[in-house]
Amino acid sequence: MVKQSAPDTARRSEKSRRAIYDAALALVGEVGYPKTTIEGIAARAGVGKQTIYRWWSSKADVLLEAFLDLSGQAGEGREQYVIPDTGDLAADLKGVLRATVDELRDPRFETPSRALAAEGLVNEELGREFVAKLLEPSLQLYVQRLRSAQDAGAVRPDIDPRIALELFVSPLAQRWLQHTGPISYAYTDTLVDYALYGLAPR
Amino acid sequence: MVKQSAPDTARRSEKSRRAIYDAALALVGEVGYPKTTIEGIAARAGVGKQTIYRWWSSKADVLLEAFLDLSGQAGEGREQYVIPDTGDLAADLKGVLRATVDELRDPRFETPSRALAAEGLVNEELGREFVAKLLEPSLQLYVQRLRSAQDAGAVRPDIDPRIALELFVSPLAQRWLQHTGPISYAYTDTLVDYALYGLAPR
């Protein structure tokens, strides 16, 4: 019997971890959060449930990390964790929102996200945890970009960036969440123009 | 035995109808949409389930009417079905949004609405029906008010009112739905000011 080398163990762990993420996301999309269990995730991932409990303390924790991993994957190949600052605020915001439109339309992201958002509506504790760990950090990227626009004189200095970003982020979120209207690049471009220049004549 | 007069029958029907609405709203708030049944509503309302089937064909229909009735109740004592046009667009929008803040904080409205919104996220057919019959009609009131503002020169003529209203309605909806931030009159007043005058310096 050959003793397994450290890199092999790491590779096997990484493979299990990925299988667990995939199983958790697939399951929550199919049966919803309440019926998703550690046992179900373990069975689907082909691991023992003690493997899961070694790394995570609850299904909420597994799902949280699975989503963090998914967002990381979704961002591959494009600028991440910061909104570009080309000096053209409208163009920068439109670019990020177009990438968000792509993500919201990707079924790998759409189905589990919708299941989790639905649970967050009625399970306030879970909702607040996922907002704090998944949603708010991405909103803070807009806060940073708007602050830099304030420094450059492109946004009024008295504006609260945390509220301002909601003028273009929340409409997209509501259309996606509640099916209140179609989602397109033209739509998000329009939101940015309306938010920056206002509805009243200039 | 005294034959019941027509007004008595109408009164009894109205009382049953009200008991059924109350039962449906309470139940969906407590157990969620999937576990709400016609049988459960009937038992809680103290009527036979055939009474419910005489008036409605499904639990979705009962709930839809119960919500329409609830919105009507919530609006009692204030201007309804139209947004006032005092000539001051900012003030008119702020007034309606403040009333919405009150409604969103009313537990009679909050609990069942949240349960139904959660189901609408994952049950697209139900979500679309409730948006079409409950949410969109109230959004169309903003469309009308913004059109009249365009006629008066207070909103640019090239603005699409159906998108424009989302700049102040959707942020409030998202904060309420997803607990992404606190809700207050100061917050909704700010949304209206940002939307009308824009984030960029004038």
Candidates A114, A174, A200; nearest CB to B170: A174
pLDDT interval class at B77 (50, 70, 90): very low
CATH of residue B180: 1.10.357.10
ipTM of predicted complex: 0.87
Let me know whether A44 and A79 are in one domain: no
Let me know whether A124 and A78 are in one domain: yes
pLDDT at A177 over 70: yes
Q: Which stretch of DSSP H or E encloses residue B51?
A: helix B49-55
Task: Residue B154: list chain A partners with CB under 8 A.
Answer: 200-201
Let me know whether A51 and A84 are in one domain: no
Give the distance between the most distant pair of CA atoms in chain A: 79
B64 within domain boundaries: no
Residue A45, amino acid = A
Let me know whether A22 and A80 are in one domain: no
Instruction: Indicate the SS3 state at residue B28.
Output: helix
Let me know whether B109 and B183 are in one domain: yes
How far apart are alpha carbons A168 and A197 in whole angstroms?
A: 12
A64 within domain boundaries: no
Let me know whether B86 and B47 are in one domain: no
How far apart are alpha carbons B72 and B77 in whole angstroms?
A: 10
B199·A194 Cβ contact <8 A: no
B178·A115 Cβ contact <8 A: no
A121·B124 Cβ contact <8 A: no
Q: Which stretch of DSSP H or E encloses residue B1?
A: none
pLDDT interval class at B79 (50, 70, 90): very low
A85 within domain boundaries: yes
Let me know whether B118 and B52 are in one domain: no
Into how many domains does chain A fold? 2
B142 within domain boundaries: yes
Last residue of a domain, one of A11, A31, A59: A59
* Digit-coded pLDDT (tens) for A1-42: 455 566 677 777 888 999 999 999 999 989 988 899 999 999
Structure tokens at B14: 């109205």
Last residue of a domain, one of B15, B34, B59: B59
B66 within domain boundaries: no
* Digit-coded pLDDT (tens) for A29-84: 899 888 999 999 999 999 999 999 999 988 888 998 998 888 776 555 444 578 99
Tell me the torsion sign for CA atoms B182, B188, B192, B193: negative
CATH of residue A24: 1.10.10.60
How far apart are alpha carbons A166 and A158 in whole angstroms?
A: 16
Let me know whether B78 and B26 are in one domain: no
- Give the number of beta-carbon pairs within 8 Å between A and B: 160
What are residue A93's phi and psi, to 5 degrees?
-65, -40
Let me know whether A143 and A180 are in one domain: yes
- Give how far the C-alpha of residue A159 lies from the chain's centroid of Cα atoms, to the nearest Å: 26
Query: pTM for this one?
Result: 0.88
B80 within domain boundaries: yes
Task: Residue B189: list chain A partners with CB under 8 A.
Answer: none
What are residue A49's phi and psi, to 5 degrees?
-70, -20
Let me know whether A50 and A12 are in one domain: yes
Task: Residue A136: list chain B partners with CB under 8 A.
Answer: 180
Judge whether A197 is closer than 8 Å to chain B, CB to CB: yes
How far apart are alpha carbons B136 and B71 in whole angstroms?
A: 13
A150 within domain boundaries: yes
Distances (CA, A) of B136 to A59, B163, B169: 36, 12, 12
Let me know whether B50 and B89 are in one domain: no
How far apart are alpha carbons B28 and B41 in whole angstroms?
A: 9
B129 within domain boundaries: yes
Candidates B122, B160, B195; nearest CB to A198: B195
Task: Residue A178: list chain B partners with CB under 8 A.
Answer: 117, 120-121, 127, 131, 135, 173
Task: Residue A200: list chain B partners with CB under 8 A.
Answer: 154-156, 196-198
The boundaries of the domain holding residue A97 are 71-197
Let me know whether B75 and B16 are in one domain: no
